[in-house]
Chains A and B, each alone.
Chain A
């Protein structure tokens, strides 16, 4: 089988480009409706194959799938859009989760009120980390962010307010909103919540991409020196990209802590950063649909193959090696989409 010749992504992009506005709107609304109904897809007998060995299909949709997609989209702003290699994304996730855990257990704030605080703290730490380190290039940035992720984990292990190795238990879940209960019995509501957040992030990225920050990020990614010479305030836009990505990670962390009710430092290891980065590269860096696709696949496969418990991670590693060798730009790379746009621009002239 020759994987090189599967050209679904080009066809899809060409189709999309050929549609007019109302058709696109109808398609998007239909797609959103489909995803909203997704949790019920496991209810029929012939779809019980979707269930994974230990978690129910609906739980898996929230975590890992929804969470991974959300975080992958956030990290994609940093890695895919601006070309900054961040190997410590888990730090922002952890900061969000611990904000929810500490404030939720120690104060009377509920998860909806903590959400902006968690995002703000993650953003702040993104700025504080970014200010000194974003002057560094490439792999130096990678190792510093990796170190930051480890530092956050080590700090949560060793100070008392985070509960050390035991972590924090009995984190309150989010209170009821518009008749939707958020507890263990209602994973569907969590799925809709996470899906809403994903939609918000996608909308934000799409708006930012066609405005000044998006153009600045694109310029920085392609050639930072040229961007700087052209008058792009590179450091400022890099910090923006870093802190927006961090805010998304923080938001994911708050919701995650409210969903799982117990968190501990061993949930926030380097492996999480690697997994999220893998989602991006696997799906297709910079291309939002690729990232979503990669997140869904890489979150679902390890859950689905839990029956081979022991060799699960081994298979995961093999999949990474094989797919990267066959399709180095990911499953749905951005290049082709850009080519089609460029071609249309030429045709229109």
Chain B
């Protein structure tokens, strides 16, 4: 127990909490979007994330030839390497998400069977993905080269604004805003929301259900892939089972905010990131997931549908 940390390092904890929280937000979109449309937990999303982290390592080592450790590059080369890694991570996660939808959900949905069957087949997909990764990497952790020099941009109120943290915060925010616009304004976004409100009626209105569901998985996968790129930029190592803890936390974030609700996922992710960072500082990092779950239970006691479960019902995906 060390409460003095809370006052002495408050702003720096806030900053790292928000950057972790934004990674959670992006992953939790993979859960919340799919849940909004199918009312099913996308259990394989943690492995979709894992695929993204491996893609990032693969691109960054492949393009630069640096394997691990600090090997900064500068200027134009840095920008295009990072951008390329981001795009490849997003695409590989997105494609994995499409594959998961196709193999684990589509057939079962057509049969209209019980929800647990899809859950188990998704768990099966997630075992297949993580085990393939384990066999391919021989269970060894994969390190990402540190291409972006983690220099400080300046100190503000005791918090060290590092380049990578700022990059994560800014780009994740932009991505979330873009997604929110897309879901609320675009034609396809409207179709997604229609399906989430009522599958039957959406079908009657001429919406191609399979296409909308695929697109939802794809978008969730793209966002999760972006999260995996940011995760690798800040934390730099991955393993075949990296997705488990992060996926669990992201799913908790989605539930905390009210699952199926985009903005709920945003607030859930940020508050979870802050909560984890603060409780790790106060109680020791081994207890952070315990704190998170205790808070989750307490929140659900008061608001059984999550914090924004009903309040922003209209804007749910």
Contacts and interface: CB of A to CB of B under 8 A. Distances in A.
Contacts, number: 118
Nearest to B107: A325
* Most chain A beta-carbon contacts within 10 A, residue among B35, B131, B296, B306: B131
B70 to A, nearest CB: 31
Contacts of A328: 108, 111, 113-114, 117
A197 interface: no
Contact of A144 (B125, B259, B297): B297
* Most chain B beta-carbon contacts within 10 A, residue among A79, A85, A137, A324: A324
A142 interface: yes
Main secondary structure of the interface of B (DSSP, over half): helix
B301 interface: yes
Nearest to B138: A310
A320 B123 contact: yes
B117 A317 contact: no
A321 B119 CA distance: 10
* Most chain B beta-carbon contacts within 10 A, residue among A313, A317, A318: A317
Nearest to B117: A328
A182 interface: no
Contact of A139 (B35, B120, B287): B35
Contacts of B117: 281, 324, 328-330
Interface stretch (A149-157, A235-243, A341-349): A149-157
A320 B120 contact: yes
Contacts of B290: 151, 154-155
A318 B132 CA distance: 11
B114 A135 contact: no
B128 A321 contact: yes
Contact of A140 (B120, B286, B304): B304
Interface in A225-275: 270, 274
Interface string B99-120: 0000110011001011011111
B72 interface: no
B104 A321 contact: yes
A274 B126 CA distance: 12
B228 interface: no
Contacts of A321: 103-104, 121, 124-125, 128
A155 B286 CA distance: 9
A161 interface: no
Contacts of B119: 85, 281
A281 B116 contact: yes
A139 B259 contact: yes
A139 B292 CA distance: 17
* Most chain B beta-carbon contacts within 10 A, residue among A143, A144, A313: A143
B212 interface: no
Interface string A139-177: 110111011101100110110000000000000000000
A127 B289 CA distance: 22
B177 interface: no
B166 interface: no
B286 A158 contact: yes
A318 B107 CA distance: 15
A42 B217 CA distance: 48
Given A142-B41, A144-B300, A329-B117, A154 B287 contact: yes
A137 B127 CA distance: 26
Nearest to B305: A140
A278 interface: yes
A67 B306 CA distance: 36
A317 B128 contact: yes
B144 interface: no
B135 interface: yes
A85 to B, nearest CB: 7
Given A157-B286, A328-B108, A139 B41 contact: yes
A325 B296 contact: no
A314 interface: yes
A157 B287 CA distance: 10
A313 B114 contact: no
Contacts of B120: 277-278, 281-282, 320, 324
Interface of B: 35, 41, 103-104, 107-108, 111, 113-114, 116-121, 123-128, 131-132, 135, 244, 248, 251-252, 255, 259, 286-287, 289-290, 292-294, 296-297, 300-301, 304-306
22 contacts: A132-B297, A135-B304, A139-B259, A144-B296, A150-B293, A154-B287, A154-B289, A274-B123, A282-B120, A285-B116, A314-B135, A316-B127, A317-B131, A318-B124, A320-B123, A320-B124, A321-B124, A321-B125, A324-B120, A328-B117, A329-B113, A329-B114
Interface of A: 79, 85, 132-133, 135-137, 139-140, 142-144, 146-148, 150-151, 154-155, 157-158, 270, 274, 277-278, 281-282, 285, 310-311, 313-314, 316-321, 324-325, 328-330
The 3 closest A-B pairs by CB, nearest first: A320-B124, A317-B127, A147-B293
